[in-house]
Amino acid sequence: MFRRIGNAVVRHPVWTIVAWLIAAVAIVATAPSLPSNSDESSFLPKSYESIKAADLQTKAFPSAFTPSAIVLYQRTDGGKLTAADQQDVARITSELGKKPIDQVQKVVPGQPSKDGRYALTLVQMDSKNAGQPKQADAAKVLREDAKDLAKGTHLDAKLGGSAAQALDQQDSSQRGQALIGIGTFVIILVALLIIFRAPILAVLPLILIGLVSAAANGLIAYATKLFDLQANSSISSILIVVLFGVGTDYFLFLMFRYRERLRAGDEPKQAMVNAVDRVGEAIASAAGAVIIAFLALVLSTLGFLKQMGPALAIAVAATLIAGLTLIPAVVSLIGPKVFWPSKSWQREPDNARFAALGRGVQRRPALTAAVSGLVLVALSLGTFGYKATFDLASGSMPKTKESMVVQDEMQKAYSAGAAAPTDVYLSSTDGKPLDKAAFDAYAKKLGAVDGVASVRTTQVNKDGTTADFTVTLKYEASTDKAIDAVGRVRDIAHSSAPQGTEALVGGMSSIYKDINAAVNHDYRTVFPVAAVLIMVILGLLLRSMVAPWYLIASVGLGFGATLGATVWIFQEGQGHSGLMFMLPVIMYLFVVAIGTDYNILMIARLREEAREGREPREAAGMALRHAGPTVAAAGFILAATFATMLLAGNSLLTEMGFAVSFGIAVAAFVMAMFFTPSLTALIGHAAWWPGHGDRAEEAAVGTVDGALGSEPVPGEDRDTVAHDPSGRRGQ
């Protein structure tokens, strides 16, 4: 199949390129805009209590005042507010209420702080559009108007609240995307220049993957709208890295093989056909593992991850198609001039360093397996200290953003939980009015819960069937203490509800608690499903029932080492209260899927060496000698590409960038280069049971790329291929 694809695109390169251009332009021109939602509650299914409570609030209290934005006032000199200052606050509040700002429904004064240094203006917006870009636009207008109205006074006005956080998150995301994009381009450009010393070859993947990126984003927008998925602005930053990082990997796979065939004496166009034929299954298998791992996120209960899974899968699928069609077509048009001005493509390097490493593995596989395994186990110990944090808004932007400054100052000036109180809704189950005489006793029980600062009955609906008890916690809504406290509030609210009533607990802390439960569900579902599906791919590719088990176990150990190192760096080293809640799921999928790719490259080459009559230890040494440069180059570029997320300036992408890049480095430079080949050498022929695909007699079938069961290419020189330094044979 891959030979037919190669023949088609090499014979008709211009038509292939034109077809890509037409498809890309059509998709980009007609695709809907990719929506973005920063409302954490929209990520949860309707079955969770916090969402049920929000729905009840909408029905029972349709006109209830819930601030979406908060203007925080303090004197520019930091002193207490004077009577004149308070008059200015009242004036600004009144004038803001008169302005016809889209989404703004009501503007009212808030309570001053107990120390007299702060005052508030509370702004209510349309709850139906919570977290949507239009509310961020409203927040931008409010922020500008509040600052203009405060000019000429002694007041400093800052805008916070969920709408302001959405605005700042949007701005931070755009800045982060720009930095990540520039960093990604620079890393790929410099790395390819170092590897090939050819400017055309360094620039070419950036241009081609840029075209693929535009088409992929359009397809993702179509899928998001078609299946009514939730989106978040952070996904765009991740997509940049996935498209260019993985795309460059596939570009490397093809170009290494193309260079090998030119060295073997193939005519340029035939060299590309042979390259696609040989490397096609490797690219397809690698992409298949990644796509399956990403699609496992569809099983997640969180809307954010449900959308991310198909989006990333679409991106990788588009990159796969481009790797088999667009890239071969363009390179076949350019021919060997793509390597200009370097002449190194005409001769094979010695790879002395990797030969030495291979000899080390061959002589001491047990020691190599033990040392590399102990390194992974030692790093994995950090997982026991893992804690999660659930504030997606603050995790998606720097602490210096205005909405984050407001949040921090409000925690100091008011009760830490005042900015996001918890609501307990007590409803009648029989439709009769509630007994108001029982309210005080119920509120007293809620107030006695450890972690609760105050409780008050704020409103009863017009039918008298639902009452709202506002519970202010002692802790900021997203902290572990607040989430634990809201759990205790739920227990008391349910158990102490008067006969004939039921209670639902809402608010941000309740939402975070449900997100925690949803993530734990995902750990029990997504992790094993992704692992099983990847094992199936490994079993089919390697035709073995033994190798997939220890390969997936080694990658799982790599995941543990990555999470442990991330905990030590960010929680212990930088003092973070926890890691972003979705990080382990994302890390697992990237490290397991991509780590498996590098394992596939190495073990396929190892089996190929064994098929040529070498014993398991010698085969492991030769595999590292020849496939090592490939794994090293691909692993370095992909890890460095993901590391560009460190430039984003927010904890979510910083943690993700470090974790994924570290995990890829571990997968390439520890697992694939040492742990996997040494372990395979120790297991010996049993690793290939029941197929025994490593037996030397199978070489008679004529598989130059026997690790993948390909047919031989006419004119290939066996000795040249057997000593291929690029490591591309058997991909």
Specify the DSSP element, H or E, that contains 453. strand 452-460
- Work out the pLDDT band at 349, boundaries 50, 70, 90: low
Residue with tokens 């400017």: 199
Q: How many CB atoms lie within 10 A of CB 32?
A: 11
Cα–Cα distances in Å, from 313 out to 20, 177, 287?
19, 20, 9
- Work out the pLDDT band at 414, boundaries 50, 70, 90: confident
pLDDT digits (tens, 9 = 90+) for 380-407: 999 999 988 876 666 667 777 888 888 8
- Work out the pLDDT band at 286, boundaries 50, 70, 90: confident
CA torsion sign, 478 to 479 to 484 to 488? negative
pLDDT of residue 146: 92
Cα–Cα distances in Å, from 154 out to 85, 93, 346, 403?
7, 16, 74, 21
Do 709 and 277 form a contact (C-beta atoms < 8 A)?
A: no
pLDDT digits (tens, 9 = 90+) for 299-342: 888 777 777 788 888 989 999 999 999 999 999 999 889 988 87
Residue with tokens 């002193």: 79
Question: Which pair of structure tokens corresponds to residue 554?
Answer: 């080694």
Cα–Cα distance measured from residue 323 to residue 251, given in angstroms and rounded to the nearest whole number: 6
pLDDT of residue 719: 35
- Work out the pLDDT band at 60, boundaries 50, 70, 90: confident
Do 302 and 522 form a contact (C-beta atoms < 8 A)?
A: yes
Question: Could you tell me what percent of the chain has a pLDDT over 70?
Answer: 87
Least confident range from 200-204, 580-584, 695-699: namely 695-699
The residue-averaged pLDDT of 368-388 equals 91
pLDDT digits (tens, 9 = 90+) for 106-151: 899 988 888 889 999 999 887 777 767 788 889 999 999 999 999 9
Cα–Cα distance measured from residue 728 to residue 476, given in angstroms and rounded to the nearest whole number: 54
Least confident range from 66-80, 469-483, 601-615: namely 601-615
**Residue 717 predicted with pLDDT over 80:** no
Cis peptide before 341 (omega within 30 of 0): yes
Which residues fall within 8 angstroms of residue 540, CB to CB, at 6 or more apart?
Answer: none
Largest CA distance in the chain: 95
CA 411 to chain centre: 30
**Residue 73 predicted with pLDDT over 90:** yes
Cα–Cα distance measured from residue 716 to residue 704, given in angstroms and rounded to the nearest whole number: 8
Least confident range from 41-45, 72-76, 407-411, 452-456: namely 41-45
Do 696 and 611 form a contact (C-beta atoms < 8 A)?
A: yes
The residue-averaged pLDDT of 567-583 equals 85
- What pairing do the DSSP bridges indicate for beta strands 67-75 and 155-160? antiparallel
The residue-averaged pLDDT of 46-68 equals 84
pLDDT of residue 197: 86
3 state DSSP class of 729:
coil
Question: Which residues make beta-bridge pairs with 74?
Answer: 156
Mean confidence (pLDDT) of the chain: 82
Cα–Cα distance measured from residue 268 to residue 582, given in angstroms and rounded to the nearest whole number: 47
In the chain, the N- to C-terminal Cα span, in Å, equals 16
Cα–Cα distances in Å, from 269 out to 7, 345, 569?
9, 16, 49
CA 150 to chain centre: 41
CA torsion sign, 479 to 480 to 481 to 484? positive
pLDDT of residue 64: 67
Do 196 and 339 form a contact (C-beta atoms < 8 A)?
A: yes
pLDDT digits (tens, 9 = 90+) for 546-573: 888 888 888 888 899 999 999 999 888 8
Cα–Cα distance measured from residue 402 to residue 394, given in angstroms and rounded to the nearest whole number: 11
Question: Which residue in 67, 68, 72 sits closest to 118, CA to CA?
Answer: 72
* Residue 167 CB-density burial (10 A; 0-12 exposed, 13-18 middle, 19+ buried): buried
pLDDT of residue 49: 93
Question: Which residue in 596, 639, 637 sits closest to 290, CA to CA?
Answer: 596
Cα–Cα distance measured from residue 486 to residue 506, given in angstroms and rounded to the nearest whole number: 9
Cα–Cα distance measured from residue 35 to residue 131, given in angstroms and rounded to the nearest whole number: 11
pLDDT of residue 62: 77
Helices 13-30 and 199-226 pack at an angle, to 10 degrees, of 40
pLDDT of residue 713: 36
| Alpha helices for 162-301 (secondary structure H) | 162-196, 199-226, 234-263, 268-295
Number of helices (H), then strands (E), in the chain? 24, 10
Do 44 and 515 form a contact (C-beta atoms < 8 A)?
A: yes
**Residue 40 predicted with pLDDT over 60:** no
- Work out the pLDDT band at 703, boundaries 50, 70, 90: very low
Cα–Cα distance measured from residue 135 to residue 201, given in angstroms and rounded to the nearest whole number: 45
Cα–Cα distance measured from residue 727 to residue 731, given in angstroms and rounded to the nearest whole number: 8
Question: Which one has a higher pLDDT value, 513 or 597?
Answer: 513
- Work out the pLDDT band at 494, boundaries 50, 70, 90: very high
pLDDT digits (tens, 9 = 90+) for 152-172: 999 999 998 888 888 887 777
**Residue 649 predicted with pLDDT over 70:** no
pLDDT of residue 723: 39
- What is the side-by-side order of every strand in the sheet holding 501-506? 452-460, 466-473, 422-428, 501-506
Do 232 and 304 form a contact (C-beta atoms < 8 A)?
A: yes
Question: Which residue in 51, 32, 29, 49 sits closest to 40, CA to CA?
Answer: 51
Question: Could you tell me what percent of the chain has a pLDDT over 90?
Answer: 26
Do 330 and 17 form a contact (C-beta atoms < 8 A)?
A: yes
Residue with tokens 């796979």: 253
- pTM, full prediction: 0.75
What's at 272, amino acid-wise? Answer: M
**Residue 80 predicted with pLDDT over 70:** yes
